Amino acid sequence: MSSLCPPEAVRGMTKLEKDAFRLPIELPVIEMEAKDVGIVSRRVRLEPYLIGHKLKPLKNFIESEKDGMKYLVFHPDKVKKEDEDTRQKILEMLVRELGEEKVKALVWNTLSKDLTFENWDTKSIFKAVLPVGIEYSSYTQTGHIIHCNFADETLPFRFIIAEVLLNKVNNCKTVVQKGNIITNVYRNLDLELLAGEPNYVTEVKETGLRFKMDFSKVYWNSRQVDIHIKIAENLI
């Protein structure tokens, strides 16, 4: 398991506690002149060793405390402190583009950071929270509303899943699940509000058309594009 995964303590959590996701980490870094960042980024094949872009806003190059300087940030599992061979190989790769004199001035350092709930994406958080071997990705977004579907094994985690989606998915303000019983002629199902505001009037853009609806009173399926077009044609 990666040392940059959320803490094991969040496993089994059913109510979102963001503070529990705080993880102190030590990152291997090289401080270099900011003007050299472009050259290194374009010409030196360091991707297998770098931190990557999954832990936003943490990324491969971040600002240093010194003016005109930046940190080149490496993944702690791929560039270990005791792995002198890998560290030397990286310096040799930099020499080919920056020159020996510049690289002689570069020093390996350690940067202390705290990873938080904000750093991880939904997939990483669900993998950390849910029981081992159970995944979750069964939801659709209609305007500002996310509609969740749950299997038996994910149902006990529906509230934390909803809170994570509310925090992580762009434009999401409401998270619901629908009941299993149809109670009226319009074939819509009763909603359970899982997170966010109880605002079910939303808008969707589809095939150049804008649909406005009360999600709690209509049956909307994003896969039924052809039917939506036919309805629109009959109304125009």
Q: How confident is the model at residue 1 (pLDDT cuts 50, 70, 90)?
A: confident
Contact between 29 and 81 under an 8 Å Cβ cutoff? The reply is no
Residue 39 identity (one-letter amino acid) = I
What does the domain layout of the chain look like in residue ranges?
23-115, 122-235
State pLDDT tens for residues 156-188: 999 999 999 999 999 999 999 987 655 555 556
Place of tokens 């299997």: 151
State pLDDT tens for residues 183-234: 555 556 688 999 999 999 999 887 778 889 899 888 777 666 677 667 767 6
The CATH number that domain 122-235 falls under is 3.30.300.110
State pLDDT tens for residues 43-69: 999 999 999 988 988 999 999 999 999
> What is the separation of C-alpha 41 from the centre of its chain, rounded to a whole number of angstroms?
23
Contact between 168 and 116 under an 8 Å Cβ cutoff? The reply is no
State pLDDT tens for residues 77-124: 999 999 999 999 999 999 999 999 999 999 999 999 999 999 999 999
Between 223 and 141, residue with greater pLDDT: 141
pTM summary value: 0.86
The pLDDT mean for the chain works out to 91
> Which residue, 46, 75, 37, 78, is CA-closest to 58?
75
